[in-house]
Amino acid sequence: MARISSIEEKDHPELAELIGKVRAGRRGALINVYKLLLHSPELAATWFELIGKARFATALDGRLREIAILRVGYLNRTDYVVKQHVPELAAPEGLSQAECDALADWQKSPFFSARERAALAYADAMTREVTVPDAVFDALRPHFSERQIVELTVLIGIYNMHTRVFTALAIDPEPHHR
């Protein structure tokens, strides 16, 4: 059970414009994240804008983006993120259910390219230790441009923030995932 009450659209006509933006960018849905964040409309708007840019305005391909997001979700034990992305967002980006499941322990998996493994090791280091060893960072260079490294770093950082916020607020799963 979420620790903060949900903002219900019908009770807040003053939020109609922002809710409309969120719905338009979330395939028509006002998901639980925003029902909580709307307690602070400016923060909700900024969150929405930031996540949109980090996910869709980068030089990272969708498959890699979903791999990084899911790995952070697994590492931080945030079922909400995993359930939001598997399979609905991950499958269209080319991730099979078996690959999504394997992200919980990717090093033992037969899946994932050298490029993806470098990104996964980076996500692990950023999430677990915060300080990234030079060898882990250097392994990114053959596979990613500097722009892509910056974008991957920000994406991983954002999802670390997301997972911590979702866990602290005990966000409820979306109804279609129960």
pLDDT digits (tens, 9 = 90+) for 36-83: 999 999 999 999 999 999 989 999 999 999 999 999 999 999 999 999
- 3 lies in some domain: no
Q: Do 104 and 74 meet the contact criterion of CB atoms below 8 Å apart? A: yes
Same domain for 45 and 110, yes or no, is no
Domain span at residue 44 reads 9-56
Residue 131 Ramachandran class (φ > 0 left, ψ -120 to 50 alpha, else beta): beta
- Alpha carbon 126 to its chain centroid, in Å, reads 14
For residue 152, being part of any structural domain is answered with yes
Q: Say what the pTM is.
A: 0.93
150 compared with 27, residue with greater pLDDT = 150
Residue type, 154: V
Q: What is the pLDDT of residues 17-45, one digit of tens each?
A: 999 999 998 888 899 999 999 999 999 99
User: Do residues 77 and 114 share a domain?
Assistant: yes
Domain annotation covers residue 175? no
User: CA distances (Å), 49 to each of 1, 21, 33, 118, 120, in order?
Assistant: 27, 10, 14, 28, 25
Structure tokens at 24: 């338009």
3-state secondary structure of 63: helix
